[in-house]
A and B are shown apart, each in its own frame.
Chain A
Amino acid sequence: MGLEGIGARVARKEDKRFITGKGRYTDDMTVPGMKHAHFLRSPHAHARIRSIDASAAEKMPGVVGILNGRQLTEDAIGNLICGWMIHSKDGSPMNMGAWRPLASDVVRYVGDAVAVIIADTKAQARDAAEAVVVDYETLPLVTSAAAALEPGAPQIHPEAKGNLIFDWEIGDAAATDAAIAAAAHVTEMKIINNRLVPNPMEPRAALGVYDEAEDHYTVWTTSQNPHVARLVMSAFYNVAPENKLRVIAPDVGGGFGSKIYIYPEEIVCLWASKRTGVPVKWNSDRTEAFLTDAHGRDHVSTVKMAFDANNRITGLKVDTIANLGAYMSLFSSAVPTYLYATLLSGQYDIPSIHANVRTVYTNTAPVDAYRGAGRPEATYLLERTMETAARELGVSPAELRRTNFIRSFPHQTPVIMNYDAGDYEASLDAAMQAADYAGFPGRKAEAASRGKLRGIGMSCYIEACGIAPSAAVGSLGAGVGLWESAEVRVNAVGTIEVLTGSHSHGQGHETTFAQLVSDRFGVGIDSVSIVHGDTDKVQMGMGTYGSRSGAVGMSAVVKALDKVEAKAKKIAAHLMEADESDIVIENGELKVAGTDKSVPWFQMALAAYTAHNLPAGLEPGLKEGAFYDPSNFTFPAGCYICEVEVDPDTGKTEVVQFVASDDFGKIINPMIVEGQVHGGIAQGIGQALLENAYYDPQTGQLLTASYMDYTMPRADDLPSYKVSTTETACPSNPLGIKGCGEAGAIGSPPALINAVTDAISNNNLTMPASPHRVWELLNPAH
């Protein structure tokens, strides 16, 4: 692997600017003449806008302009859309309501933007916003998905009768019902997956600049996928033609899914820049982020799992209601369908599965992908059910899982996915050993002597990453292909630039992508630069989400490297009068195998550009591009085991041990992979113990809209983690990579809740397991 190649634990190249305060985030950008935007937002969850009077506000100090939905409509700015078409089981297309970047007639959630105030300073814009008078006629509202489906519920969009967006199914209903009818045992549960707010630490921001002289548009934005933003903003929102629009996502402070989507604010900043003639910058404050960033999860499900007399699962039936909020965000329809129900087979050989999913409009913020996106919901449902079934059947949780593991590959599940490789027993064994599972009874007794209730819980997760084969997702309704692009430029002095359509917002691509090049050509990572996040530099790309940058983005780099290597060998062979099939590349040199002849890498590169002595017919230069479209999803899997201690006096849960054993396939940089797992687990523990986005059902107000009210996991809430990996090669991409970005958040919540319910001997627990909820279960008389 070399010191800096594949598998090396290399410190990150990008760290220096971050640890010295020289990172460049969108809100750090300034351009001459820049003004500041403040969005006036609806304080009501559902209301008709009777009028907007900005006459007093327009006269306030520093105000440059105040725009609302009427001007937006005058300029024919398009509706925000959901880019994944789902059809209901009756064949009808999903019922998508209109989403205007600035609401002009009806507001549908607290935070819906109704006007933008542009002023010399942020404070002036905010002051003026308070002087804008909006006359609202409030309307009845509904915040929970189940309530929104009830007859007589407030109607949110005229396009979606009864607030139903679609009623979709997957799998074989008849076979599953038959399996349940014939079962020796059926475990039934109601499962709630609590609503979360992603909360990347950098709030969203946008800076829109229209250059009238060039008729050119630039937008800096906090995006995980700037090229998709450019595509959507030009093709659907009519903000700017694609060839005249540059989208830059510079350093981005975390995403976790919430920065995939194109939001009203970046559209409005760019449009407003043209309309007012000044550059317009907006950055979200934290409460705005809580109100308007796409939320995650919010499923209510029922599940029936059927077993035969040998404890083998014979059928799984799931009914889910998913809350999509007030508007359909960009990929919202895919999350509770193809990213969720297709994973309901888990690690188990289940002959029949049927899932029905209804998605629903409510008067809450839009809901879309949040770290894991559908797969945490599937895993939580399945692994809570497995644990519960083990308790009901009187077998150990590990044994029940072993009985049902898939053991031969490829494995076709009843819900589309074809698992290519895996060894679930290996990760279970590794986790049980690392957790000293056998020693648990002793630890439980010791904890009891201190008055603490100790519990243990496990979770065996699988996810689908490497998103995704373009033709396959196209056939399922995706509006885009999910390939990735790369370009490798070898400079005349031999240094190398890699341009990628992936986007790094914490994942360390500037290091790991350079490690690929180092591994291939034996050059140091310091002579390799990674270019990303700018549509003027990288032609096209699909961005970073779904743990796809390794499996898909790096595979594109590998394809481009293959082409560079082939040409480099041709040049070197010519220089050394050897056969190109005899050339090997080692330690920064091109050598003739079996001889002492060699050409340094830089000399070959220089020869490519001087072009004085190239093989006949070979073009000068050394620059190659590639698009890589994956042949299958990848299937990371693993086992997480958690131990908790509950204080019966307070109901407070402490995580005393957390063990993760993951199979991510080939690993480029173990240090970075471990960091991804740590962060994912923290978010999973957050969901299970601390976090909950709560809307007041009467008023539609988000009561958890600040860090005073929404419990973010902090250092003293969390343990240190024991993480390790097992490896089965992934046959579906050239590097054998499966992906690691989401696993921690997917696998951990059920392990936690299984542990807490074990500790308190009460299975009737919903997330988050707050001290209050746990204490109430321990003290039912109160």
Chain B
Amino acid sequence: MASVSMTVNGKAVSGQCEDRTLLVQFIRENLNLTGTHVGCDTSQCGACVVHVDGKAVKSCTMLAVQANGSEVLTIEGLASGGELHPVQAAFKAHHGLQCGFCTPGMIMAATDMIKRHGGKLDEKTVRDELDGNICRCTGYHNIVKAILAAAEEMGSTRQAAE
């Protein structure tokens, strides 16, 4: 067994887990944060994407012990003060989700994508960079729309702040 400590959604947490425990298992089973999902066994579907130290990571591809000492952000921590994150709001406004299972991973991946591109995104880039996240319901059409809309909003918000 290993002792693991990390900061998750701004709170210090610690726990005991087997060495082989994946980060996603630690998040779901030890911390009971069940918004992060597991949709495959081969690191393909992206339902488990969280942010570790500010970068999007498939939490099924990382051991919990590897995240020891890290800052982890899950879907539950994305909204702040009851206010939806612009990506969350855009997924709702543009019907970018149906069954909701892939949605947390999509939103976490999209948030990271927008940040990396400084809010400047086009459809082709969004589609290319979304290929690590599988959705079976939406055909991606409205997910792409939502991400582009959120990127535009976040880009212009940033400009306004500058």
Chain A interface residues (CB < 8 Å from chain B): 11-12, 14-25, 27-28, 30, 123, 199-203, 251-254, 256, 285-287, 505-508, 671-672, 674-675, 678-683, 706-708, 712-716, 718, 720-721, 744
Q: Whole-angstrom distance between the alpha carbons of A718 and B91 in the complex?
A: 19
- B76 near A20 with CB under 8 A, answer yes
Chain A residues within 8 Å of B141, by CB: 675, 678, 718, 720-721
* Closest residue on chain B to residue A13 by CB atoms: B92
Asked whether A21 and B97 contact (CB < 8 A) given A675-B142, A712-B136, A716-B128, the answer is: no
A286 and B127 contact, CB distance less than 8 A: no
Q: Pick from A28, A199, A201, A286 the residue with the most CB of B within 10 Å.
A: A201
Chain B residues within 8 Å of A680, by CB:
139
Measured between alpha carbons, how far is A714 from B129 in the docked complex, in Å? 10
Inter-chain contact A254/B99, CB cutoff 8 Å: yes
Known contacts A22-B35, A679-B136: does B107 contact A716 (CB below 8 Å)?
A: no
B16 at the interface (CB under 8 A from A): no
Question: A716, B127: Cβ atoms under 8 Å?
Answer: yes
Nearest CB to that of B147 among chain A residues?
A715
Known: A201-B135, A201-B136, A671-B95. A708 touches B36 (CB 8 A): no
State which of B37-45, B61-69, B151-159 sits at the interface with chain A: B37-45
User: Contacts A252-B99, A715-B144; is A15 near B92 (CB within 8 Å)?
Assistant: yes
What is the distance, in angstroms, from A236's C-beta to the closest C-beta of chain B? 29
Bound: A305/B103 CA distance, A? 46
Residue of A at shortest CB range from B32?
A: A30
A23 CA to B39 CA in the complex, in Å? 15
Given the complex, which residues of A lie within 8 Å of B137, measured CB to CB?
Answer: 201, 254, 506, 675, 679
Task: Indicate if the CB atoms of A708 and B44 lie closer than 8 Å.
Answer: yes
14 extra interface residue pairs, beta carbon distance < 8 Å, beyond A199-B136, A718-B139: A19-B75, A19-B97, A20-B79, A21-B76, A21-B78, A24-B34, A253-B37, A508-B98, A679-B139, A681-B139, A682-B139, A707-B44, A716-B130, A720-B144
Provide the residues of chain A in CB contact with B32, threshold 8 Å: 30
* Residue contacts A-B, CB under 8 angstroms, 14 given: A19-B91, A25-B34, A27-B38, A28-B34, A201-B47, A201-B134, A254-B136, A256-B136, A285-B41, A286-B42, A675-B95, A715-B140, A716-B128, A718-B140
In the complex formed, the residue of B with least CB distance to A15 is: B92
Q: How far is the CA of A19 from the CA of B123 in the complex (A)?
A: 22
Known: A12-B95, A253-B101. A19 touches B88 (CB 8 A): yes
Task: Say whether B59 faces chain A, with CB atoms less than 8 Å apart.
Answer: no
**In the complex, A30 Cα to B32 Cα: how many Å?**
9
How close is B57's CB to chain A, nearest CB, in angstroms? 16
CB-CB under 8 A from A17, the residues of chain B are 100
Instruction: For the complex, give the distance between the alpha carbons of A28 and B27 in Å.
Output: 12
B123: chain A residues at CB < 8 Å are: 720
Pairwise interchain contact A254-B134, C-beta atoms closer than 8 A? no
Min distance, Cβ B18 to any Cβ of chain A, angstroms: 7
Knowing A23-B100, A251-B100, the reply to whether A706 touches B136 (Cβ < 8 A) is no
List residues of B (86-131) whose CB comes within 8 Å of A's CBs.
88, 91-93, 95, 97-104, 107, 123, 126-128, 130-131
Taking the closest CB of chain B, its distance from the CB of A339, in whole angstroms, is 21
Chain A residues in 8 Å Cβ range of B140: 678, 682, 714-715, 718
**CB-based contact A25/B101 at 8 Å:** yes
Residue of chain A at shortest CB distance from B101: A253
Q: What total count of A-B pairs have CB within 8 Å?
A: 181
Which residue of A286, A675, A720 contacts B98 across the interface (Cβ within 8 Å)? A675
Q: Are B138 and A679 in contact (CB under 8 A)?
A: yes
Q: How far is the CA of A123 from the CA of B29 in the complex (A)?
A: 12
Complex contacts, B37 vs chain A, CB 8 Å: 25, 201-202, 253
A contact residues around B12 at 8 Å (CB): none
Closest beta carbon of chain B to A130's beta carbon, Å: 14
Residue B8, interface by CB 8 Å: no
User: In the docked arrangement, what's the CA distance between A682 and B135, Å?
Assistant: 10
With A201-B39, A202-B39, A678-B141 in contact, do A21 and B99 touch (Cβ < 8 Å)? no
Among residues 13 to 49 in chain B, which have CB atoms less than 8 Å away from a CB atom of chain A?
A: 18, 20, 28, 32-42, 44-45, 47
Q: Residues of B contacting A671 with CB < 8 Å? A: 95
* B139 close to A721 (CB less than 8 A): yes
The reply to whether A715 and B130 form a contact with Cβ atoms under 8 Å apart is yes
Instruction: Confirm or deny: B2 has a beta carbon within 8 angstroms of a beta carbon on chain A.
Output: no
Closest beta carbon of chain A to B104's beta carbon, Å: 5
B33 and A21 form a contact (CB under 8 A) = yes
Pick from A24, A253, A256, A675: contact of B138, CB below 8 A.
A675
Contact assessment for B130 and A714 in the assembled complex, using a CB-CB cutoff below 8 Å? yes
Alpha-carbon gap, A142 to B126, bound state (A): 44
B residues near A675, Cβ cutoff 8 Å = 95, 98, 137-138, 141-142
Measured between alpha carbons, how far is A203 from B122 in the docked complex, in Å? Answer: 32
Q: Give the distance in Å from the alpha carbon of A21 to the alpha carbon of B28 in the complex.
A: 11
Q: Given A20-B35, A679-B138, A714-B134, does the pair A287, B102 have CB atoms closer than 8 Å? A: no
Instruction: Give the Cβ gap from A538 to chain B, nearest Cβ, in Å.
Output: 20
In the complex, what's the smallest C-beta–C-beta distance from B144 to chain A, in angstroms?
7
Please determine whether B88 and A202 come into contact, CB atoms closer than 8 angstroms: no
A199 to B47, CA, bound (A): 13
Known: A11-B92, A201-B39, A707-B40. A18 touches B136 (CB 8 A): no
**Complex interface: chain B residues within 8 A of A508 (CB):** 98
Residues of B within 8 A of A20 (CB): 35, 75-76, 78-79, 84, 88
Asked whether any CB of chain A lies closer than 8 Å to the CB of B143, the reply is yes
Q: How far is the CB of B84 from chain A (nearest CB, A)?
A: 7
Candidate in A16, A23, A508 with the most chain B CB atoms within 10 angstroms: A23
Query: Nearest Cβ in chain A — how far from B41, in angstroms?
Result: 5
User: Chain B: which residue is nearest A677 at the CB level?
Assistant: B139
List chain A residues, Cβ under 8 A from B93: 11
Cβ-defined contact, B97 with A678, below 8 A: no
Per the bound structure, the CA–CA distance linking A390 and B131 in Å amounts to 38
Q: Which residues of B contact A681 (CB under 8 A)?
A: 139
Tell me the bound Cα distance from A25 to B104 in angstroms. 13
Enumerate chain A residues within 8 angstroms of B143, measured Cβ to Cβ: 715
